[in-house]
Amino acid sequence: MSETERTFVMVKPDGVQRGLIGEVVSRFEERGLKMVAGKFMQIDEDLAHEHYGEHEGKPFFEGLVDFITSGPVFAMVWEGQDATRQVRKMMGQTDPAESAPGTIRGDFGLDLGRNVIHGSDHEDPGANEREIDLFFDDEELVDYERIDETWLYE
């Protein structure tokens, strides 16, 4: 059996501007994942630099910071078995042109720099915790049971 985990997800400024927050939330809820935190916010430059810190010094770094601070985002924490891997699969490839139809990026993304959504990397074991801690305080994470959980997992 897979392990229950929490994963960080963010609808980026392009997704917010296009009115896709509800669509993204619905897809994850329909999949059976549980939102345990959500926040509509404007990212400042300091948070953007921390969030994209691993890319500092790369030629595209400033563009990432400029874009993520250009408008509001919707930050979330989702919980479920293998939540990070499930979310990444549902998001599609980073480049929307490489994303399959039916994925969020495959259905709504048109450009690598405007790919609607960010999710923690499942191949980086510390990414979830680091990103959740950047965007949420412990008291903002809500523990609860959904009434359908017994129907989702063995």
Point out the residues that are catalytic: 118
**Nearest partner of 71 among 12, 21, 114, judged by Cα:** 12
Tokens encoding 141: 């994470």
**Nearest partner of 120 among 80, 96, 91, judged by Cα:** 91
Question: What is the rounded CA–CA span in Å between residue 38 and residue 142?
Answer: 10
Beta bridge partners of 35: 78
Tell me if 13 sits within 8 A of 67, measured CB to CB: yes
